[in-house]
Structure 1
Amino acid sequence: MPQLDEALVDDPHEVQRLDSRGHLRALATAGAQVREAAHLAAEAGIDRLEREERPRAVLVAALGGSAVVGEVLTVLAEAQSPVPVSQRAAGPLPAWVGPMDLVVAVSLSGRAPGPLGLAAEAGRRGAQLVTVGADESPLADVTARARGLHVPVPRGLVSSRTSLWSLLTPVLLASATLGVVDLPAPVLDELADRLDAQAEACRPSSECFVNPAKIAAQALVETVPVVLGDGPLMGVAAHRAVAGLARTARIPAMHGCLPDGASQVVATFGGPFTAAGGQGAGSLAAARGGRDIFADPFLDAPEEPPLGLLMLREGGSGIPPEQTSLAETVLQEAHDVGVRVQEITSGARHPAVRLAEVMALTDFLSTYAALGLGLDPSTNPHVANLRAAGHP
């Protein structure tokens, strides 16, 4: 069963040795990314959108690590937007997109074929176009020809996994200007401050017994992980978390969102990784959160990892009572059968800040999980092989 090595995540020299491209350091710049992206958006002329009519519909074109931009915009728009918001990774561009609609295309390099092709077709159809990506890139050229708005990202960014807020901030600002989401200026300042606070709490010099990301990583690495959001907002964070576990830490994980995901997740509580469904003393001891100290690794069967549940929750006032009640019921079921349960909660007032706070912590969690397993969070040879074969 895998275990997180505290000596690796608590030793700055080991962290630096393993983290070849500064993945951890890049995550810590999230708050600065928000502020710099807002500045770049202003320089690009985002205020000109105030003179534009609200679009009939919004389509976000993004793929890979950038796809979360569309997910965040969609869930934030649900509460306020009078127009529908959808997303797509690649073509063809839906037939309904025309001059009355807005297409937002996001690509860190400005070269991703899916968003680039969708943006080009949107321009040909006369749709309003807002793009975010590298300056002097094919995406920037497409936007210029369509007389759209291109917001450049800072130079030197190497991964969309660690540059989320450089990509997402201009999209949120453009959407707020057009009345698609509610994001007053003070909220963006609070969001950046919360990201700074998470970076401070999860800094490498903060040891395993006090660092919330290291604590969560240590517990999750030794389990078969399930990440569950207590509603649509935290469902986006749960999807982001399992993507990070897979891509950064090489840990396959299942994710869900309440209420729809409740039965699917609870069904696993009766399976082979819990006390309710496990067979044999090794499984039962693991499911109850302990190890059989008398087990002989040569004569007994290998110890099976227990099921682990990471519940991402919204705190504070304004949360529907039925959402809280269902989450508590799921947690009680998990405790009853020996599932290893962890909770991450944000009580921030604005949903964008709640989402940012939780996603920042899970980003650090997956990075420390990789480091604690002796893996480089920045690179993956198997993904590199895919790209070398021409697959994005």
Structure 2
Amino acid sequence: MASFFDESRVDSDDALAALDSHQTLRGLATSGAQVREAVSLAEEAGIERVAGGERPRSVLVASLGGSAVVCDVLELLAEPGSPVPVSVRRNVPLPGWVGPLDLVVAVSLSGRAPGPLALAAEAARRGAALLTVGAVESPLAEVTARARGVHIGIGRGRTTSRTALWSLLAPVLLGVGHLGLVDVDARVLAQTADRLDELAETCRPSSESFVNPAKVLAADLAEGVPVVLGDGPLNGVAAGRAASMLARTARVPATSGELPDDAAQIVACFDGPFTAAYSGGQPSPAGARSTDDIFADPFLDGPAAPRLSLLMLRDVLPDPMTREADEARHLAEAVTTAAREAGVRVSEVTAQAGHPLTRLAGQMATTDYAATYLALGLGLDPAVSPHVADLRDRAGG
């Protein structure tokens, strides 16, 4: 796959303009502005009225597709200290236990996604409190208005959930933060917006390939079939987002996992046919160092098989160091060492210090830019997939 990646494309203003028909890079660069606008829109919509200002018995959040990461982030941030359970439902039916004492959060950029819309409508019928985020003039907004819930618009110019993530996520976090379910307020969101602005500057198109971390990562990912691994829960969410963006934006099949649970299944792949350690059904012993055949002739021997690559997302080390963080560090290093010994290309992205949301935002932004540059370097429009359009036509929209 590497032979198809052309670094000159990602450094050319003309090439980027020709390929990026929906200005995906520009959309990603507005992430910080999205956070600030979302806070303003949420306050104008009366975010303090969510659930009547009272702590609900439980929270259920629904989002699909490119918006699904909203569920993942809310679960991540609520798990350590939320006094009430937070659960996720991607689609109908609404669980039978949801009733007037509960809060249902439904997210859809268009306000028309069947799953979140149906869940919100059923929650309203049962008398549950509603917090919804999406287009202002939409069925989702109408359902919420009838239920006297809180609906927050997504602002203008938001055309895809992949580049409008923070218009969807920030209001949800602000709402549940008001209820004391997550440690997120306007101050944390302002810090997150600043971090996103920093990444937009660092990963800007005019920054050349040899100094732009997202372009460097894109070129690395072009060398193989990526597995994205997070070193813990926070980077597990970032890994899931990265795998989704690589597949949907760059059209590169990618899987994701989280340490420690997924260590064994990832390392087992280092024995397989997509690594240099594989030898025709006779895998090399564990720890054996393998290299490519420098004398291989692609014309006589055929093209080289796709190779596995590992993208390891790592968190900043706490100060002072904790036992859990030290164990996570050792496990991550063991996995990357095993990968390199098996001939797997390894890339690493390490978070910067800050609030968990701010660290997560930086990790997701870096891989979002990388996936977009990978698409552009491969000569693909990151926003338009003919096969996805064809699937929609075949499935009736």
Q: Return the TM-score normalized by structure 1.
A: 0.94
Of 235-244 and 49-58, the range deviating more from structure 2: 49-58
Which position in structure 1 is the counterpart of 2:337?
332
State the 1:386 CA deviation: 2.0
Moved over 6 A (4+): 287-291
State the 1:348 CA deviation: 2.1
User: Aligned partners of 1:211 and 1:135: how far apart in 2?
Assistant: 37
Question: Does the Cα contact within 8 Å between 1:289 and 1:340 map onto a contact in 2?
Answer: no
1:358 aligns to 2:363 (yes or no): yes
Which position in structure 1 is the counterpart of 2:57?
56
State the 1:42 CA deviation: 0.6
Secondary structure, aligned partner of 1:37: helix
Which position in structure 1 is the counterpart of 2:168?
167
Gaps of 5+ in 1: 281-286
User: Aligned partners of 2:391 and 2:179: how far apart in 1?
Assistant: 39
Amino acid at match of 1:243: S
User: Aligned partners of 2:87 and 2:63: how far apart in 1?
Assistant: 11
Which position in structure 2 is the counterpart of 1:112?
113
Secondary structure, aligned partner of 2:300: coil
Which position in structure 1 is the counterpart of 2:245?
244
Which position in structure 2 is the counterpart of 1:382?
387
Secondary structure, aligned partner of 2:38: helix
Which position in structure 1 is the counterpart of 2:300?
299
State the 1:323 CA deviation: 1.4
1:42 aligns to 2:43 (yes or no): yes
Q: For 1:309-348, what aligned pairs fall within 5 Å after superposition?
A: 309-317=310-318, 320-348=325-353
Of 7-16 and 184-193, the range deviating more from structure 2: 184-193
Q: For 1:134-149, what aligned pairs fall within 5 Å after superposition?
A: 134-149=135-150
1:198 aligns to 2:199 (yes or no): yes
Question: Does the Cα contact within 8 Å between 1:50 and 1:177 map onto a contact in 2?
Answer: no
Which position in structure 2 is the counterpart of 1:308?
309
Which position in structure 2 is the counterpart of 1:182?
183
Amino acid at match of 1:370: A
State the 1:24 CA deviation: 0.9
User: Aligned partners of 2:51 and 2:118: how far apart in 1?
Assistant: 27
User: Aligned partners of 1:150 and 1:332: how far apart in 2?
Assistant: 49
Superposed CA RMSD in Å reads 1.7
Per-residue displacement from partner, 1:57-109 (whole Å, max 9, x unpaired)? Answer: 11111111011101100011111111111111211100010011110000000
State the 1:391 CA deviation: 5.9
Amino acid at match of 1:336: E
Amino acid at match of 1:85: V
1:30 to 1:336, Cα distance in 2 relative to 1, 3 A: same
State the 1:55 CA deviation: 1.0
Secondary structure, aligned partner of 2:41: helix
State the 1:250 CA deviation: 0.6
Which position in structure 2 is the counterpart of 1:261?
262
State the 1:185 CA deviation: 2.8
User: Aligned partners of 1:163 and 1:33: how far apart in 2?
Assistant: 7
Which position in structure 2 is the counterpart of 1:284?
none
Question: Does the Cα contact within 8 Å between 1:101 and 1:127 map onto a contact in 2?
Answer: yes
Q: May I ask how many residue pairs the two structures share in their alignment?
A: 385
Q: Identity of aligned pairs, percent? A: 62
State the 1:278 CA deviation: 4.3
User: Aligned partners of 2:391 and 2:85: how far apart in 1?
Assistant: 34
1:54 to 1:291, Cα distance in 2 relative to 1, 3 A: farther
Per-residue displacement from partner, 1:185-234 (whole Å, max 9, x unpaired)? Answer: 32211100000011111111111111101111101111121100111111
Secondary structure, aligned partner of 2:201: helix
Secondary structure, aligned partner of 2:227: strand
User: Aligned partners of 2:109 and 2:264: how far apart in 1?
Assistant: 37
Gaps of 5+ in 2: 282-288
Question: Does the Cα contact within 8 Å between 2:50 and 2:129 map onto a contact in 1?
Answer: no
Per-residue displacement from partner, 1:257-298 (whole Å, max 9, x unpaired)? Answer: 111100000001111222322459xxxxxx967673x44332
User: Aligned partners of 1:78 and 1:152: how far apart in 2?
Assistant: 27
Q: Return the TM-score normalized by structure 2.
A: 0.93
User: Aligned partners of 2:51 and 2:385: how far apart in 1?
Assistant: 43
1:81 aligns to 2:59 (yes or no): no
